[in-house]
Structure 1
Amino acid sequence: MELCKFHTVAFVVILFCFPIAYGWGTDGHFIICRLAQPRLTKAAANAVSQLLPAYAQNDLGSVCSWADRVRFRYHWSAPLHFIDTPDNLCTYQYKRDCKDGDGIQDRCVAGAINNYTTQLLSYGKASSASQYNLTEALLFLSHFIGDIHQPLHVGFTSDRGANTIDIRWYNTKGVLHHVWDTNIIETAEKRFYDSDVEELIDALQKNITTVWSAQAKAWEACNKIACPDLYASEGIKAACDWAYKGVDENSVLEDDYFLSRRPVVNLRLAQGGVRLAATLNRIFG
C-alpha cells in the first residue's frame, strides 16, 4: 500500500516545524492522547513507552499533534487526515469515500488508521526494524484516531469539510471547520475551566468513569483491531445533525450554538480517547 512508503526525515528537526492545526486543534489532540494513556494495559503502556521519542518523556499527549506539523515535509500525508463524503447524503462508505483528490483508494483517515495499525502489529518482530518506522506509526495512528472523531473531518466534499463556510464566532471571523477544531474547546476552557486544559481533561476523565462508564465499554468494542469505519459513520452523522445544522454562509455563531454543540465535542473527545487506548491495547496485547 502506498501509505507505507515515505522518505526518512530527521525526526527531531520535523518536530520543531512551525505548527498549523488541521485536525482537532492542539488542545483537542492533547486531550485525546491524555485520556488514552492511563487506560493502556501494562503491555501496551510498555510498548508505547519504548516507541515514544525520548523528548516526549513518556507523554503521548505531548506529540499527539506531530502529524499536523509534518505535513510541511510529508506532503503525501495531507489527504490522510480526513474523508470527503457526498454532499447532504450524511452517510459514509469506505469504498466510495476513502480516496484522495486523485481518486487513489485507501488514502483517507480511515485507510490511514488501518495502515498504521497494520504497521504497529509488527512491533517486536525482527522484520519491523527495517521495514517500518514504528515511532512514526504510533504518532500517526494516535493523531488519526483523534481526527476521525472530529465530525467535520468526515464532512461534505464541496465545502472541504466546512473549510469554505465563512462564519463569525461571536465577534471573530473564521470558518465553520475551525469552530469544531478549536473554538468550541477553547471557549469551554475559558468559560468553565479557567483556561486550563488539564481541568477539562480531569472533567472528561471523571465522566468516562462515572456517567459514561457503561457507554465507554461499548465505545471500546471492535470486532477487528481497529474500527475506523464505525467512527467515520458516527462522524458524518454528527456533522449533519450538529455541525452543519442551522449554519449558513456568514452565520453568527454564539451561545445557542456553543452550548448545544459543546456536549457533542466533549463526547467525541471522550470517545476518541477511549478508542485510542482500546486500539493500542489490542495491537500490543
Structure 2
Amino acid sequence: MHKKIAIKKMLVLAFALFITTSSYAWGPIGHRVVAELASRHLTPRAQKAISDLIGTETLAMIANWPDFIKSDTTGKYKHTNNWHYVDFPGHISCEEVHKMIADGKASGEAYNQIVALSKTLKDPKASKEDKVFALTFLVHIIGDVHQPLHVGRDEDQGGNKIAVQWFNTPSNLHRVWDEQLIDYQQLSYTEYTNWLDRAPAQKIKEIQKGTVIDWLCESHVLADKVYASTKDGDKLSYRYNFLFVNDLNSQLQKGGYRLAQVLNDIFK
C-alpha cells in the first residue's frame, strides 16, 4: 500500500511541477515529443508492461519529472544531477567515444544510467516503485542524449557557458537547443509528434539500428557541428533556425523511435 501511495505521489508531483518549474533538457515539449513518439511504436507486450507500472498515465506526461526534481531542496535527488549528460572532448572519433566509456573517462553518467535503469526494469525482483522510477528516468535520459549538447563538451558545460542572444533575448547555446529552438516551431507536443511520425517502416528500422554508444557518438558529431556554427556572443534568429531545424527534427524523431526500441527490447 505504501509503495502504491509513493508511486502515485511521484506522478502527481510530476504533473504539478509541470505548471510551476522551468525546464533543463529539450524543454517540456521536446521530451514529450520523444516520449509520445515512442509510445506510438511500442509492441503490445511493452504497452501492457508499461501500463502495469504507470496505469493510465502516459510516457509523455512522466518524461519531464527528472528535470522537475532538480528544484527539490531536500537533496534527495542530488545524486541524479549528472545522469542527464555524457560529455567528451571535441572532434573525437567514434572509436574514442567507445574507449572513453569503456575506460570510465567520460564526464557524466547518462550512458551508465541507461544500462543500469534498463537492468532494473528487467529485474523480476525489483519493486514496482523502483521500476516506475527507472522507467521515468530512462524515458527522460534517452531523450537527453539526442539533444546534441547533452553529449557535448565538459569545459563549457554543454554550451551553458557560451552566451548568445536568441531573437535579441540573452540566452546561452545550451538553452537555445534545450527549448528555444523547439519553442520557435510553435507546435504543441502532439502536433509536433504527428508531423515527425511519418517515416516509413524501413527508415524506422534504420534509425533503430546500432547501440546506445553509437547513438551517443552520432549526437556528439552533431554537437561538433553546432559548436562550429555558434560562437560566444552570437546573435541567433531566423538564419539559425534555417541552419538547424532539420537536425533538430531528426534528433527528436530518432530519440522517439530509439526509445521505443529500447523499451520493446526490455519488455519483450
TM-score by length of 1: 0.81
Kindly indicate whether residue 217 of structure 2 is the aligned counterpart of residue 233 of structure 1.
yes
| Matched residue, 2:52 | 50
CA contact (8 A) 1:114 1:228 kept: no
Cα deviation per residue 1:168-219 (whole Å; 9 max; x = unaligned)?
1112110000111111111112xxxxx433222111112x23xxx4321112
Quick check: 1:284 aligned with 2:262? Answer: no
Partner of 1:120: 121
Is residue 201 from structure 1 mapped to residue 173 from structure 2 by the alignment? no
Matched with 1:27 is: 29
Q: 1:106 to 1:188 in 2, by over 3 A?
A: closer
Residue 48 of structure 1 aligns to a residue in which SS? helix
CA contact under 8 A between 1:98 and 1:107: conserved in structure 2? no
The structure-2 alpha-carbon separation of the partners of 1:31 and 1:46, relative to structure 1 and needing over 3 Å to count, comes to: same
Structure 1 outlier segments of 4+, above 6 Å: none
Q: CA RMSD in A?
A: 2.4
Gaps of 5+ in 2: 1-5
Contact 1:98/1:110 (<8 A) preserved? no
Alignment match of 2:79 (pick from 68, 71, 76): 76
Q: Which residue is 1:150 aligned to? A: 147
Pairing 1:220–2:212 present: no
2:30–2:189 Cα contact (<8 Å) kept: no
Q: Distance in 1 between matches of 2:254 and 2:134?
A: 21
Q: Aligned partners of 2:176 and 2:93: how far apart in 1?
A: 20
Question: How many angstroms apart in 1 are the aligned matches of 2:102 and 2:256?
Answer: 23
Q: Please give the alpha-carbon distance, in whole angstroms, between the structure 1 residues aligned to 2:121 and 2:81.
A: 21
* SS across alignment from 1:128: coil
Shift of 1:11: 2.4
1:85 positional shift:
1.0
In 1, the alpha carbon distance for the partners of 2:83 and 2:131 equals 17
| Separation in structure 2 between the aligned mates of residue 200 and residue 177 of structure 1, nearest angstrom | 21
Distance 1:13 1:199 in 2: 25
Aligned counterparts of 1:97 and 1:160: Cα–Cα separation in 2: 18
Contact 1:83–1:97 (Cα < 8 Å) also in 2: no
Cα distance in 1 for partners of 2:91, 2:232 equals 16
Cα distance in structure 2, aligned partners of 1:151 and 1:75: 23
Contact 2:26 2:144 in 1 (8 A): yes
Residue type of the partner of 2:216? A
CA deviations over 1:231-273 (Å, ceiling 9, x no partner): 11001100112x2122111101122211120000100100000
Does the aligned pair in 1 maintain the 2:85–2:145 contact within 8 Å? yes
Residue 221 of structure 1 deviates from its aligned partner by: 2.3
Inter-CA distance 90–265: structure 2 relative to 1 (3 Å threshold): farther
Instruction: Give secondary structure in 1 for the equivalent of 2:228.
Output: coil
Q: 2:61 — aligned with what?
A: 62
Deviation, structure 1 residue 99: 9.4
* Contact kept? 1:85, 1:97, Cα under 8 Å: no
Q: 3-state DSSP class of the match of 1:167?
A: strand
Q: 1:181 aligns with which of 175, 178, 182?
A: 178
- Asked if structure 1 preserves the Cα contact closer than 8 Å seen for 2:49 and 2:267, the reply is yes
Q: Which runs of 5+ in 1 are unaligned?
A: 1-7, 190-194
Report how many residues are paired. 254
User: What is the alpha-carbon distance in structure 1 between the residues aligned to residue 160 and residue 107 of structure 2?
Assistant: 22
How far apart are the structure 2 equivalents of 1:42 and 1:58? 16
Give the Cα–Cα distance (whole angstroms) in 1 for the partners of residues 192 and 218 of structure 2: 23
